[in-house]
Structure 1
């Protein structure tokens, strides 16, 4: 007797999509948690600055008796939502397309729109978690009050704002060719708009053209609608005008994303790594016919080129080391017209501050990240079997860091001296260059020390990013006024290199100061940090 076994009926396509969606959302959330840069700018960055700014304003209140901190949660929450829903989503979508994942979904049971819906849902979950975390910290630590009757308006605003950012992120990913370019452009757009959209700077008297630009784009409307939901005044917190603008931008972004959608890879931004140092390349860099001194020089020049090529293929590193400081130098004087900081014009002070920041990013963030990537790929370990000494390879990377700092200085000088009225005495130019190189060398040694102490590349990036910006803020690198910082914060900042490099550069770039421009006390501190960090690198092997 035989029994016919009927084939199991396949579930409808709609059921397959519904079943796959939760798993895809979990996968997207896990991918976000494994991305330290995304997690830092989405969660850690707004949380850190909420704590710092709230600590600075202390117990200050408005004339109506409302704590100033009440109005700080909304703008930082908006930045976190925009980072997750716009920047991270755009970069992830471009990476999925570039790696061929979306093209393979064309013949898979789960369609592309389900994958993208899961990514959008994950971005919204991360956004909601960021807003909840900021609100809890504000309520617990800084007397922020939740206006319960405005909670529905907050949820609607959050949902619509995240949807608007997501649609624009997908549109940007559809328009830009590579994942690296998408990530760099998205980050640049968001940070630039945050300064003119009541996010980083609330209520500033902007120039007319900047105010008009901010009002035409959706981030300011998102920020103002979100701020209304935290305002303790009357009403239910809905901002129909701002929400209508967000809805219009959502439709426009979705239309553009659908119209320009092409899920085939358009060319990889995963650039081929530079040729790893091998016996053959080392022999080519050190031909036996040259004298030993020239062979060493030729080998070092090759390692400098090696490091510079790697930096040039990382647009996000170039953006934060060169473009971002120049953007701040141009934007801040435009936002704070005729403002002075510690007796100096805004542009004059920020010129020294942005030189400090550029040197710190190049040495403390970009350099150890490149070293950690080479170590993870086994490049550093294989160097022990080649004629190329490890110290020469690291020297090439450090020299590339110094060149990056000089490039950033040249761009900043072109913008500051050429257009913003920054003045640097000609007799102080040796002091400026020497101080900048000493600071970049200090940050490079500090970055190598951190790379030697931390073996995981992911934890390394999280530590460097998570410490640099708060320390720079406490060191008054980003200061925008004469409000004094808390004494404890200033004392802590005085222990670290950014404050000493800033003070040394302020001395070197002082327009009316006499003398050579060298701040020997601050330079001695930088030298001390450099020596200690190099000892750590020597005692702890990098490979």
Structure 2
């Protein structure tokens, strides 16, 4: 039929009714797909709890603890279950809500027939489904690999605890996402608070008791009552049906608080950015006499352009300064690279029962070296790799071809910034150690420690460059980097875990172990010899990983 055939005739549009329930269901499906495509969610939902289950099996073993054949992992598996369901709900909901608001998705959804509760149903429901998936996989592997037994008499209480906990953590995530001005703040606040709560709730400690005051503080938050209830419900030697009204009351209180704060602070539109005052006003002078400091002279008759290439040191200083300013504007970088190692230093020294370890070494010295190692790994392996991958994915590295800045200068500036940030971590830990724990290191030890730290930072930066070439996207680089760093930290005894001897042997193949050992040897008050073997291993890693990274380096994804 031609276009003229419809002139003068009415065009009827029949609206197809769509039920609210179907819209909420479609929103749930969309949220599940979005979470499934997000690598950071998959890492924290499945990889981290399974990795921790595997590490617990290595650290604690799985020997029988009674004549009835109950295994050690019967008591450790609930920790991995609690971790998986916790990380599957709180961070994903917080990040998704803040990201949807920042990108304008929430604003567009507001103009659709989808009610507000339909959006919340979809987002929280997706997180609950991921928590269920993490639960099923963790329990299945626990039963098959470690002979973990499910207690029939506590199954109802366990199911109620898991459901209440997952909904509560989702509500707290909603509150964090609603209060956060940007998605980066929500990501830092949710993941950071989750990590802190995991530490003070004892999820990351194997066979160690937290101080009574810290245990009391942790009991106020929902994660510790949640994990304690699951531990009791899996414990075959405890009588009863597994119900713990006091723990459930704490969790329910956080559910109410998270829901009220989340709904009260929820916004469909992004937060208004603060007005920016221009740093300078355009000059009102005549164009014929305009002279720019960059070496460009402009006149009415002749335009003469003189481009002066900045000296290499100036380029390096400018790039490192820009990287440090960028890190300061990202709350996640500041938390994981500075706040977390300094806080863990204080926590681990406090948890340590004496001023010396079992081998006679000062606890503050060894833990300080461990946390400097962790901070260097975050700054120069995880964050550095993620920043370079982000520059590659956004086309920044490609655009550098038309600028005086070579890619080598950009990478060098980022490395210097990471090393500078590591020095800040070092200074903060040594200052806190000296003021609070009597840590004393001589001038020679400090100087030798700086040499070891420089070698370690170069090796970690080279490994970060290599990671960038192996992983396709920036967000995946950050997630994979965190998982690798977390795993190697336990193999390298960074968190003072006592595992089997073969774990230490595996850890000695990687840089973290040698950076920590080198710092401990350099700071040894007894005047230990120069740790040449550790420095040599770090140098080899820097050279090999650096050469591999150069050979695989790409300015943009998937192209030479």
TM-score calculated relative to the size of structure 2: 0.86
The alpha carbon displacement at 1:79 in A equals 1.8
Equivalent in the alignment of 2:526: 513
Structure 2 residue 541 is matched with structure 1 residue 529: yes
1:508 to 1:314, Cα distance in 2 relative to 1, 3 A: same
Match of 2:184, SS state, is helix
Q: 2:114 aligns with which of 110, 113, 116?
A: 110
1:340-380 per-residue CA deviation (whole Å, 9 max, x = no partner) reads: 25433433211011111111111111111111111111111
- Partners of 2:92 and 2:330 lie apart in 1 by 17
Q: 2:23 aligns with which of 20, 26, 29?
A: 20
Q: 2:59 aligns with which of 56, 60, 69?
A: 56
Match of 2:271, SS state, is coil
Q: Is the 8 A contact 2:521 2:531 kept in 1?
A: yes
Structure 2 residue 131 is matched with structure 1 residue 137: no
- Partners of 2:424 and 2:438 lie apart in 1 by 20
Q: Is the 8 A contact 1:228 1:238 kept in 2?
A: no
Q: Is the 8 A contact 1:75 1:198 kept in 2?
A: no
1:538 to 1:261, Cα distance in 2 relative to 1, 3 A: closer
- Partners of 1:158 and 1:535 lie apart in 2 by 48
1:369-407 per-residue CA deviation (whole Å, 9 max, x = no partner) reads: 111111111111222233322211111111111111111
What are the residue-to-residue correspondences of 1:135-534 with 2, within 5 Å? 135-201=139-205, 205-233=209-237, 234-267=239-272, 295-338=311-354, 340=357, 342-480=359-497, 483=498, 485-510=499-524, 512-514=525-527, 518-534=530-546
Structure 1's unaligned 5+ residue stretches are 272-279
1:455 to 1:8, Cα distance in 2 relative to 1, 3 A: closer
- Partners of 1:467 and 1:104 lie apart in 2 by 38
- CA radius of gyration, larger in: 2
Equivalent in the alignment of 2:4: none
Q: 2:35 aligns with which of 13, 23, 32?
A: 32
The alpha carbon displacement at 1:48 in A equals 0.7
The alpha carbon displacement at 1:70 in A equals 0.6
Q: Is the 8 A contact 1:73 1:138 kept in 2?
A: yes
Q: Is the 8 A contact 2:389 2:474 kept in 1?
A: yes
Q: CA RMSD in A?
A: 2.8
Match of 2:41, SS state, is helix
- Partners of 1:107 and 1:306 lie apart in 2 by 40
Q: Is the 8 A contact 1:282 1:299 kept in 2?
A: no
Q: Is the 8 A contact 2:49 2:84 kept in 1?
A: yes
Q: Is the 8 A contact 1:341 1:349 kept in 2?
A: no
The alpha carbon displacement at 1:89 in A equals 0.9
Per mean C-alpha deviation after superposition, the further-off stretch among 43-52 and 117-126 is 43-52
The alpha carbon displacement at 1:160 in A equals 0.4
Q: Is the 8 A contact 2:455 2:535 kept in 1?
A: yes
TM-score calculated relative to the size of structure 1: 0.89
1:462 to 1:295, Cα distance in 2 relative to 1, 3 A: same
The alpha carbon displacement at 1:9 in A equals 5.7
Q: Would you say how many aligned residue pairs link Structure 1 and Structure 2?
A: 521
1:298 to 1:447, Cα distance in 2 relative to 1, 3 A: same
Equivalent in the alignment of 2:50: 47
1:490 to 1:461, Cα distance in 2 relative to 1, 3 A: same
- Partners of 1:196 and 1:464 lie apart in 2 by 24
Structure 2's unaligned 5+ residue stretches are 1-8, 277-291, 297-304, 556-560
The alpha carbon displacement at 1:473 in A equals 0.5
Q: Is the 8 A contact 1:77 1:134 kept in 2?
A: yes
1:145-194 per-residue CA deviation (whole Å, 9 max, x = no partner) reads: 12133222221111100111111222222333332222212222222222
- Partners of 1:472 and 1:195 lie apart in 2 by 15
- Partners of 2:487 and 2:232 lie apart in 1 by 28
Match of 2:383, SS state, is helix
- Partners of 1:311 and 1:106 lie apart in 2 by 34
1:77 to 1:268, Cα distance in 2 relative to 1, 3 A: farther
The alpha carbon displacement at 1:90 in A equals 1.3
- Partners of 2:510 and 2:316 lie apart in 1 by 30
- Partners of 2:294 and 2:52 lie apart in 1 by 47
